[in-house]
Structure 1
Amino acid sequence: MARQSSSNAGRAAEILILLGQADRKGMALAALAAATGEAKSSVHRTLVALAEYGLVVQNGNRGNYMLGPATYALAHRSLGVNEIVATYRPALIDITGRTQFSTYLMVRSGLDTICLDYQMGQIVAQPYVSGIGGRIPMGVGISGVCILGMMDARSRDRCLDLLEDRLAQWDLTRPQIEAEIAEFQRLGFMRGIRRSAGIESLTLTVPINNDHLRGMETAISLLAPLNVLDAAGERAAIAVMRDAISTAERHASSPTRSDDMSGR
């Protein structure tokens, strides 16, 4: 780098940037010293300090240095479950209050979808999950189809490979689920009908596209009795859901809200 570090913190930052730009072989101590314009002893002390926190690792004794797992973890940190519920519970309350239908906050857990939170509406339909903690295989419920559609293609295909037998137990086929996923990816939300306890219900599901939820595919579903909503009513409900999610996220990111959450 053109600029020589003026502090330990600056030297550490330069080293992390250099290692982030290096190939998979990493960089030797001598190369890092030359690139930063620092003495080897100073660079080595900084590397030792970074290694103590898992920010860099050395490939064997006297080997090259590379970014450590803690660097990746920091860059990809997801919200915790409590934070997710705290962020999106107001959205559930808002949606249910404005539509009178029950709403569910659903997240992927392995090959299942789990209900993290819900609000019971005045207009009740037959759900697949009994409440918080209820879980069903992905694809059995409409929220699971939405969540599958949010995943990268390779991960989704592997999940479907492993889910086929379980889906068959619910009289669902892989081609059916794949067709629903394609429809979700076309529309940006999921609409579907499922039968639970012999009763057919309509589910509308909107994905939560939040950069802080990497690896935790999450969605909000609205459950309505069949034939209660016409096409215009469904569009209006989707608009309400998107607006409520956006409002909840905006409020959660405000300084006052962040301070309240951190002080709990």
Structure 2
Amino acid sequence: MARQSSSNAGRAAEILILLGQADRKGMALAALAEATGEAKSSVHRTLVALADYGLVVQSGNRANYMLGPAAYALAHRSIGVNEIVATYRPALVNITARTQFSTYLMVRSGLDTICLDYQMGQIAAQPYVSGIGGRIPLGVGISGVCILGMMDARSRGHCLNMIEARLAEWELSRAQIEGEIAEFLRNGFMRGIRRSAGIESLTLTLPIRNDSLRGMETAISLLAPLNILDEAAERNAIAIMGAAIHEAEHHADVLPHNEDAGAK
């Protein structure tokens, strides 16, 4: 790497970039000094300072340096729940106002789906969750199927292995959930029917695809009484949901605008 700056901050940035480009063995002090064009003593002082903040660690028999956990955590920081609610509450209000159906902001928490926020519509249906903080196992609700579909295949398979017995308690099978996930992956949204308190309801769920939500799979669901929407009305509802998510992100102060928000 060509030397860009002799300042402490510049040296630290160069070292972090070099370590980010290094292989799994990391880099020795001598190699870092040569690559930055700095004296070993200067590079060592910078490495000690970076290590104090967890940005660099030293390991292995050769005591090479590599990026520390703090560097990874900074790169993958997820926004807070309050920020998510503040961003997408306008979308819930918008969707409910335009469709008259109840809407729910759902997020994965471990092996469960949790309701972060909701808007009660004039046309009521029987929900699985009682309101904010309501929790059900992944896949029990249609939003949970959507959230499972948003996960990478390996993580999704691990979750399904762990919740398979819980699904049976809700009279759901793994094969059914996997079939619904495949449908979600084809369509980009989720449509499904579930029975709660003896009443069947239709749920339409749209994923929130925003890079700021790494590791926090989030979706918005619309809940309607069964057979009240025909196919055209369902498509219109999905379009309304996608537009509302897009608009909410466009006007948000806490999340970057996502040009890909909405249904595929």
Distance in 2 (CA, whole Å) between partners of 1:4 and 1:103 is 52
1:1-264 counterparts in 2 under 5 A? 1-59=1-59, 63-253=63-253
CA shift for structure 1 position 9: 1.1
Distance in 1 (CA, whole Å) between partners of 2:237 and 2:247 is 15
Aligned residues of 2:87 and 2:254 also touching (Cα < 8 A): no
Pair 164,61 (structure 1): closer, same or farther in 2 beyond 3 Å: closer
Distance in 2 (CA, whole Å) between partners of 1:176 and 1:136 is 17
Find the counterpart in structure 1 of residue 261 from structure 2.
none
Distance in 2 (CA, whole Å) between partners of 1:140 and 1:67 is 40
Aligned residues of 2:83 and 2:254 also touching (Cα < 8 A): no
CA shift for structure 1 position 6: 2.6
Pair 68,115 (structure 1): closer, same or farther in 2 beyond 3 Å: same
Pair 31,240 (structure 1): closer, same or farther in 2 beyond 3 Å: same
Helix, strand or coil for the counterpart of 1:163?
helix
Distance in 2 (CA, whole Å) between partners of 1:62 and 1:43 is 17
Calculate the aligned-residue CA RMSD, in Å: 1.4
Aligned residues of 2:106 and 2:218 also touching (Cα < 8 A): yes
Distance in 2 (CA, whole Å) between partners of 1:188 and 1:234 is 14
1:238 is aligned with what amino acid? I
Please give the per-residue CA displacement for 1:19-58, whole angstroms capped at 9, x wherever unaligned.
0010111001000000000000110111111111111111
Distance in 2 (CA, whole Å) between partners of 1:112 and 1:136 is 5
Distance in 1 (CA, whole Å) between partners of 2:236 and 2:76 is 34
Aligned residues of 1:4 and 1:38 also touching (Cα < 8 A): no
Aligned residues of 1:54 and 1:69 also touching (Cα < 8 A): yes
Please give the per-residue CA displacement for 1:73-119, whole angstroms capped at 9, x wherever unaligned.
11101111111111111111111111110000000011110000000
Pair 254,176 (structure 1): closer, same or farther in 2 beyond 3 Å: closer
Q: List gaps (5 residues or longer) in structure 2.
A: 256-264
CA shift for structure 1 position 5: 2.6
Distance in 1 (CA, whole Å) between partners of 2:158 and 2:66 is 30
1:7 is aligned with what amino acid? S
Aligned residues of 2:113 and 2:137 also touching (Cα < 8 A): yes
Distance in 2 (CA, whole Å) between partners of 1:24 and 1:254 is 35
How many percent identity over aligned positions?
84
CA shift for structure 1 position 253: 4.3
Distance in 1 (CA, whole Å) between partners of 2:4 and 2:233 is 62
Pair 143,254 (structure 1): closer, same or farther in 2 beyond 3 Å: closer
CA shift for structure 1 position 64: 0.7
Aligned residues: 255
Q: List gaps (5 residues or longer) in structure 1.
A: 256-264
